[in-house]
Structure 1
């Protein structure tokens, strides 16, 4: 026993040593081919970065030593404007009050720089007032005018930067004319046929820039693919070098001379967009499970066919079919004898004296018994039922079986 224990201990120690050697070899091979790499992963934006569409522009201006303030409302009473400030209104200009528009234009005449956009193209303008734009003499195109295929007044415009791919801007934006303006534009982008997407109008000592939209300044992502744009994939609009250069040109008149006021409307991410972009780890496996379940439940492809009729027979139908089969093969006397024995067995329990008799005495007692019923059974029928039917006489066989069943049920 001692020798066996010693052998077991030696084998156990050898196995443990071999296992340790294997672990060390695998660890050495892993460390030889393993390289530590640092990777930066962009986290989901939150706070102002998620709600402020001009947040990246704000950070870029701050890094360029420009004073900048971003807020959701103009609030001229709490944020007075200085002579060389710049106000960029990213919101729809129709949200401005009439008093705010007059104060802004008066401030522009003293040397300010105002940047506004036109309302979205999908909105019907009609005769509704347009603060600032009406005072400047800007004539807007309506959706029906902008959809004119002959002039392509809602197509994208190419923004070119030397050595880089052109960027598409002002896509499906509301273009305009400045026929009624009292001042000649400093810069204008567009033409008489296709209308204008950008104009800089002098007003007093300052300037007013009107653009078809300001999406090129936003954090809104865009890849050029509508499907990817709808779920928020790609780089920020202003991250493109050509758009950043254009933004610098738009802000040029008072750049670094005063404070840049960025007026935006807080953007609350849509629920479906958030689910598609940030929660795909949950809904994608569930979707695959649903598709797999539907595939499993699918019986066949092609046109539907009516379900085949299911065979159905009741117990009585089986008994009748079995009796017809037996009778067809010449076993009618056995069927009759079974029915007669069933009647005699019931009679023995109800009237043992009549069951003990035989022949005419029994028939006479039965005739007296069934004569008093509401539906009496004829004497000849009783007599025939207790005698075997002639061979191959189907009518006599059926009549005797029916009479025996009637008498048995009335006992």
Structure 2
């Protein structure tokens, strides 16, 4: 009995401590619910118009969503609406023709101006020039948009404004001074809406009441009369960004290992060594060295003879009559053609005095001048 009493007392003491801990926990903490937004998954992760499609389906509107226009496989009806969420400059000329022909039959086309400045000039076959619009990069700013019962709102802050050329739009938003952010024009039996930006239709922005109201007004012309085709470009991050964000645990150690290997293999850095002398293979230098050698050893007459032969060869081609003469007659004929004194010509054609450098240079200079004047 005496050995069991301490064990029972210790058990009761442990239960008492546990009860106190539970009471303290329940007194200081309470269960609450918290909603944590998860990142989009599935189609909502790459389709920026996924929320718009679901909203239109909930309203009983027939809607199709795809990444490419593909008018041959998905031809819109006469009262349908096509929304191009992307750069209209990527459309081929054939697609532009088919698209405008469909609008002329009663369709409703919605496009946005591209962002960024293009280095090349717009092609006449592009969609926006065909509609009579010209881009104004860097013009204007945000546009105020007030919905009754909502706070003050602004739109098109980062969009590219445009101007109208010879067009009287049905509806417009903006002016000719700062450019337009929206214009609706009639095209045959259909309508074409051009906006500076369609960002307000994206998944994370459509929940705002001003954006939902603006989207409903934009889709109004054929709303409920036909299907709505939402054409988007899949927003897939570039490979370098995926590697940088999700594969750093693999490439970072490999990069450190590569740097360590390079550090081990690199040569020790010392004073800069002069570059080795390269062999001189210039033909002009060899010719000059050969001439200097002949002149130094009293063979300057060979150089003079070579220069005289070159002059006489050109003389035979230019004036065969003068070349056939000899002595004073030849010198006078050459003088008549070149305008130089006949004695100087006769002196130049004779061989120089041995080891007389000045006489050699004078005769060669006259031969060069005579050859130039032929």
TM-score (norm 1): 0.56
Shift in alpha-carbon separation, 1:251–1:270, aligned structure 2, 3 A = same
Q: Once the 2 structures are TM-superposed, how far is the Cα of residue 7 of structure 1 from its aligned partner?
A: 3.3
* 1:216–1:166 CA distance, 2 compared to 1 (3 A): same
Question: Structure 1: where are the runs of 5+ without partners?
Answer: 1-5, 147-152, 220-235, 283-411
Match of 2:146 in 1: 160
Distance in 2, matches of 1:129 and 1:154, equals 25
- Tell me how far 1:34 sits from its aligned partner: 5.1
Q: Does 1:104 align with 2:90?
A: no
Question: Deviations for 1:308-346, whole angstroms, at most 9, x for unmatched residues?
Answer: xxxxxxxxxxxxxxxxxxxxxxxxxxxxxxxxxxxxxxx
Matches within 5 A, 1:10-409: 10-31=5-26, 35-124=30-119, 126-129=121-124, 131-141=126-136, 143=137, 146=138, 153-181=139-167, 184-219=168-203, 236-269=204-237
Q: Secondary structure at the match of 1:48?
A: helix
Structure 2 unpaired stretches of 5+:
250-374
Whole-angstrom distance in 2 between the partners of 1:278 and 1:43: 18
Residue number in structure 2 paired with 1:323: none
Asked if structure 2 preserves the Cα contact closer than 8 Å seen for 1:121 and 1:172, the reply is no
CA distance in 1, matches of 2:243, 2:62: 37
Structure with higher Rg: it is 1
The equivalent of 2:357 in structure 1 is: none
- More displaced 10-residue stretch of structure 1: 24-33 or 78-87: 24-33
Q: How far did residue 110 of structure 1 move?
A: 1.3
Task: Encode CA deviations 1:381-411: one digit per residue, 9 max, x unaligned.
Answer: xxxxxxxxxxxxxxxxxxxxxxxxxxxxxxx
CA RMSD of aligned residues (A): 2.6
Query: Does the 8 A contact of 2:48 with 2:202 survive in 1?
Result: yes
Q: 1:399 aligns to what?
A: none
Contact 2:65 2:229 in 1 (8 A): yes
| Aligned-partner Cα distance in 1 for 2:147–2:245 | 31
Judging changes above 3 Å, is the alpha-carbon distance between structure 1 residues 110 and 140 closer, same or farther for their aligned structure 2 residues? same
Counting matched residue pairs gives: 248
Change (3 A) 1:120 1:104: same
Please, what TM-score do these two structures have when normalized by structure 2?
A: 0.61
